[in-house]
Amino acid sequence: MKIAVLIKQVPGSDSSLPIQSDQSWINEESITYVMNESDNYALEEALQLREKNDDGEVVVISLGPDRVQKVIREGLAKGADRGIHIQVDSVGVVDPLVTASSIANAIKEENFDLIFSGLQSDDLGMGQTGIILGEILGMSTASLVMATELSEGRIKVKRELEAGFFQWVTMTLPSSVTIQSGLNTPRYPSLKGIMGAKKKEINILTPEGSDPKQSMSKVYIPQSDKKTVMIDGSVDEIVDKLIETFRNDIKVI
């Protein structure tokens, strides 16, 4: 069983996010980066599947500049066997189609049985990369997964639906699965794991270029103001005005 886990390096929740003077993106120099939360759960699920089946390989994959090797080493310290760093020096938003295409081109010769990724990233929250990657590679795909079971070339997944409902789906391998936070308890790197991670392989690849389909023109802090409006008239007139405000201005009905 050969399992790939996509991990992303994102700003930590305690980091300030100063905006660049030209408002093109945030100033990354003062940010502390960490592993994306749901990717952490995806990595743990892959490690547990390998341990249950007593064989296989877990490969952590990350796309970004040199700093992403920190989260790759963290994944290796937790128990992954090797890492792949798809090296790009992009600043700002990376189109999820470009991201998925770059990863697909880099790993298409690996022939992974499973690709796990977090449901969405904590910074941009697009939630598209794992699904797009599965489609590009011709894999069966599932999102919002809360549990997994492997058996005889198939994977059975529990998907979270709306209103508290769940759905069990069985898919053939290879599959690309996006993992919801909370389905397991991620482990901490052990001292032995941290020392061993220094000797594990990280393969650095340069992706093929691709034209983005999305772009961001401006990053800014939303401005808000307070305004008080007095409503006069009869009870019927006041009710009509409130309904109009709720429907057209606040949009809650």
- Alpha-carbon distance of 209 to 218, in angstroms, equals 24
CATH numeric code, 2-205: 3.40.50.620
Decide if 119 contacts 143 (C-beta within 8 A): yes
Q: What is the CA radius of gyration of the chain?
A: 22
Q: Are 105 and 209 in contact (CB under 8 A)?
A: no
The pLDDT of residue 230 is: 83
CA dihedral angle for residue 167, residue 169, residue 175, residue 180, rounded to 10 degrees: 20
What was the pLDDT predicted at 222?
Answer: 80
Per-residue tokens: 20: 């660049």
Every domain of the chain and the residues it spans: 2-205
The reported pTM is 0.83
> Which region, left, alpha or beta, applies to residue 76 given φ > 0 means left and ψ of -120 to 50 means alpha?
alpha
Give residue 91's pLDDT: 62
Q: What is the pLDDT at residue 21?
A: 83
> Could you state, in chain order, the average pLDDT of each consecutive group of 10 residues for the chain (253 residues)?
95 85 82 94 96 90 94 97 91 81 93 96 90 96 95 92 91 96 94 95 85 79 79 90 87 79
